[in-house]
Structure 1
Amino acid sequence: MRDDWKRVRVIANYQFGRGAGIALFPEKPEIHYSRTGRIRQILYQGRRIATLKTDGLLTLSIEGAMMLHRYLPYPRMRVVVGDEAARFVRDGKNAFARHVVEVDPEIRAL
């Protein structure tokens, strides 16, 4: 059970594709647990990279998303929106389908 850092790498590879686990967690990350002992927060160099949700998938922080963005070649795992929507997305709001300019055809909903 204390090899949980390997587990989060496997989850990242499943969710984002081969190599994502190493890209997000190049070294053994710091893991924070819930009161019940479940993995919750995954940190690397003191920064939160991801949160493990109750459905078993990761949600990335901005830092984690940037790490993955640097690792994956364009256009993998990307949705490109127009300039008019970019500032809203940057503020944490949603982009509507009409604002999508380009998208990785391999992206699938989980």
Structure 2
Amino acid sequence: GKDITNILFKDVDSIRIERSRATQKLRYIFLENNLILVLRPNNGFFTLSMHSARIIKTNFEMPKLRVIVLNEISEFIKKGRNVFCKHVIDIDENLRPLDEVIVVNQDDEILAIGRLKLPVTYVKSFSSGVAVNIRKGVNKSKI
């Protein structure tokens, strides 16, 4: 949303855009040589990087853009495992399916970034099923 755009792009002079070699369309957005967003060409949505997740986390209070999970499963999520509904303690009420989310533990420590699969009401009420498809766990992240 607009709030996130204002946070990520507040220093416009430090933004660098890289285009796809094949199509010459926008593909990557960097902030001071750190990748912050990647455009998914199949649907036009941006995906978060670990760097942008850290920026968002420091500028917004919990649970904004976050899925909060039990501390006990932190190590599994850090390795890139998906988040199941039964492990979710709290979630941002404004999230919708296919939104990019930051997965954190109860101490607000970033564990992974991924995409929400289900509506928030389902995540809260289901005791089985995948809530978030993890794209990168902090232990697997090179970005």
Structure 1 position 42 matched with structure 2 position 26: no
CA deviation digits over 1:38-81, x for unaligned, max 9?
Answer: 11111101111110111111111111111111122222111100
User: In the alignment, what sits opposite 1:94?
Assistant: 82
Contact preservation (8 Å) 1:88, 1:95? no
Any gaps of 5 or more consecutive residues in structure 2?
Answer: 99-143
User: In the alignment, what sits opposite 1:30?
Assistant: 16
Following superposition of structure 1 onto structure 2, how do residues 31-110 of structure 1 map, counting pairs within 5 Å?
A: 31-35=17-21, 36-54=23-41, 55-110=43-98
Q: Which residue identity does 1:23 align to in structure 2?
A: I
For normalisation by structure 2, the TM-score amounts to 0.61
For normalisation by structure 1, the TM-score amounts to 0.77
How many residue pairs get aligned? The number is 94
RMSD (CA atoms): 1.3
Structure 1 position 19 matched with structure 2 position 3: yes
Higher share in helix: 1
Contact preservation (8 Å) 1:33, 1:39? yes
